[in-house]
């Protein structure tokens, strides 16, 4: 081969080899078209079974939120069979935050303040796009002292969602959290004394600045897409790490926590030991 190695146009292929390369190109294009058909068919299959499990997820949410408590036929409060305060418990308290705390990807993202807020998390849902090129996560909250939203969402457009383990993120869209006064978990206000300069020399004033806090709720921000042309290598690497962590969290919800929330809540993924794990969680425990 001769010429500029950066341009295929300058490669000097033997005519016979050139014909064979064109055949390889045609095979590659045929494979790509086949995989597009696969993605379309898989998206239909995923949608079919997603529709089948939705009623199960809906009933799980109703149990967690206490909407089916009256069906349980529990002993009357104060009877010998009922524990102290049994009638005060609605649904399954702290179901989702407990499950999150036992997932390897999500556990380290929550602060103590986050956990208090996440106790009001009632349900987590995921809906894949009809054509299989992305998904939307929805987090449903009860009224809480931290923010006004009843739902928080995160949307991912991933053209190769069903085609590769390495995602190509076309776009990621978070949502705005409407924090109540003084209850924001993602930033804090820091007041510092600042001495004047020039004609104000000697004067001291208080300046309030906002500082970023570690918090799970940064997850709902829309991440800034990288501009590889203007970023240096260190900035690009940091942003790549941030995107990878963000997508790992999204997939932890989509493929682990939502389908297997009960398993994470129980803290044991061994089916043979789930009953034992549940027995250890019984509340109130017999004295």
Local confidence pLDDT in tens for the 287 residues of the chain: 444 444 445 567 888 899 999 999 999 999 989 988 988 888 888 889 989 999 999 999 999 999 988 887 766 655 555 555 556 789 999 999 999 999 999 999 999 999 999 999 999 999 999 888 999 999 999 999 999 999 999 999 998 888 777 778 888 999 999 999 999 999 987 766 666 666 666 666 666 678 899 999 999 999 876 666 677 778 778 778 888 899 999 999 999 999 999 999 998 766 667 677 676 765 544 43
Backbone phi, psi, residue 272, to 5°:
-70, -20
Q: Is residue 24 part of a domain?
A: yes
For 100, 158, 211, the CA distances from 256, given in Å and listed in that order, are: 10, 18, 33
Q: Which domain holds residue 95?
A: 15-281
pLDDT at residue 84, as a whole number = 53
How far, in Å, CA of 88 to CA of 211, rounded? 40
Nearest to 120 by CA among 102, 87, 146: 146
User: Would residue 5 count as lying in a domain?
Assistant: no
| In contact, 261 and 124? CB cutoff 8 Å | yes
The two tokens of residue 125 are 């849902």
Secondary element (H or E) of residue 48: helix 15-65
For residue 268, give the nearest of 59, 90, 98, 55 by alpha carbon: 98
User: Residue 151 belongs to a domain with what CATH number?
Assistant: 3.30.1120.90
3-state secondary structure (DSSP) of residue 147:
strand
Domain count, the chain: 1
- In-domain check, residue 72: yes
Domain-embedded: residue 150: yes
Residue 3 lies in a domain: no
Q: Is residue 66 part of a domain?
A: yes
Q: How many CA atoms lie within 13 A of 85 on its CB side?
A: 4
pLDDT of residue 80: 52
Domain presence at residue 122: yes
Q: How many CB atoms lie within 10 A of CB 176?
A: 11
* Inside any domain, residue 211: yes
């Amino acid at each position: 081969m001769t010429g500029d190695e950066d341009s295929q146009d300058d490669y000097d292929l033997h005519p016979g080899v050139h014909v064979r390369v064109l055949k390889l190109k045609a095979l590659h294009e045929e494979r790509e078209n086949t995989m597009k058909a696969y993605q379309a068919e898989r998206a239909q299959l995923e949608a079919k079974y997603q529709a089948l499990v939705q009623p199960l997820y809906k009933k799980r949410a109703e149990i967690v939120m206490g909407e089916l408590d009256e069906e349980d036929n529990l002993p009357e409060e104060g009877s010998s069979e009922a524990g102290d305060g049994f009638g005060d418990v609605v649904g399954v308290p702290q179901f989702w935050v407990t499950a999150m705390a036992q997932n390897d990807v999500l556990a380290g993202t929550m602060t103590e303040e986050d956990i208090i807020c996440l106790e009001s998390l009632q349900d987590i849902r995921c809906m894949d796009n009809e054509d299989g090129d992305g998904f939307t996560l929805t987090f449903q909250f009860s009224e809480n002292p931290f923010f006004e939203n009843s739902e928080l969402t995160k949307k991912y457009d991933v053209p190769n969602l069903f085609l590769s383990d390495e995602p190509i993120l076309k776009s990621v869209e978070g949502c705005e959290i409407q924090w109540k006064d003084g209850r924001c978990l993602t930033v804090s206000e820091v007041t510092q004394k600042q001495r004047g300069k020039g004609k104000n020399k000697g004067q001291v004033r208080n300046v309030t600045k906002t500082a970023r806090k570690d918090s799970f709720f940064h997850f709902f921000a829309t991440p800034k897409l990288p501009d590889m042309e203007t970023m240096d290598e260190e900035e690009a690497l940091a942003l790549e790490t941030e995107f990878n962590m963000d997508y790992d969290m999204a997939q932890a919800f989509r493929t682990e926590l939502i389908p297997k929330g009960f398993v994470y809540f129980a803290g044991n993924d061994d089916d043979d030991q789930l009953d034992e794990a549940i027995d250890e969680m019984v509340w109130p425990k017999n004295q």
